[in-house]
């Protein structure tokens, strides 16, 4: 059975290269980083905290493609992918180029989801 892991990447907390290398060492088949381009700092919803304040770690996410590029530099066989890509919020030509470049430099182990 192949098991992957989906890891949130709040900025400035966990190095995506460290996380991917550790996941590969532990035998995970894949690692997935999600995209959250813009998260409000204030919300009317009581989740995930009372008072409408969004916790800092939820509102500052790294770019998944840059994080995956960093991860690809220190891994050799773990598959790399985005848990979600917000396609309507990206320039389609630049996104295609980013994905193709990541696929090239990762040795063909990247996936778009």
- pTM (two decimals): 0.80
Look at residue 98 in the predicted model and tell me its pLDDT.
Answer: 92
Write the pLDDT tens digit of every residue in 86-103.
888 889 999 999 999 999
96/7 Cα distance (integer angstroms): 23
Look at residue 51 in the predicted model and tell me its pLDDT.
Answer: 67
How far the first Cα of the chain sits from its last, in Å, is: 20
Domain locations along the chain = 4-111
Q: What percent of the chain has pLDDT over 90?
A: 45
Among candidates 101, 97, 37, which has minimal Cα distance to 72? Answer: 101
């Amino acid at each position: 059975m192949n098991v992957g892991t989906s890891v949130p990447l709040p900025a400035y907390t966990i190095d995506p290269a460290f996380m991917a290398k550790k996941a590969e060492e532990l035998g995970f088949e894949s690692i997935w980083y999600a995209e959250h381009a813009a998260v409000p700092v204030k919300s009317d919803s009581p989740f995930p905290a009372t008072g409408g304040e969004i916790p800092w770690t939820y509102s500052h996410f790294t770019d998944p493609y840059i994080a995956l590029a960093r991860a690809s530099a220190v891994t050799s066989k773990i598959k790399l992918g985005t848990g979600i890509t917000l396609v309507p919020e990206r320039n389609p030509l630049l996104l295609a180029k980013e994905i193709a470049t990541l696929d090239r430099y990762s040795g063909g182990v990247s996936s778009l989801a």
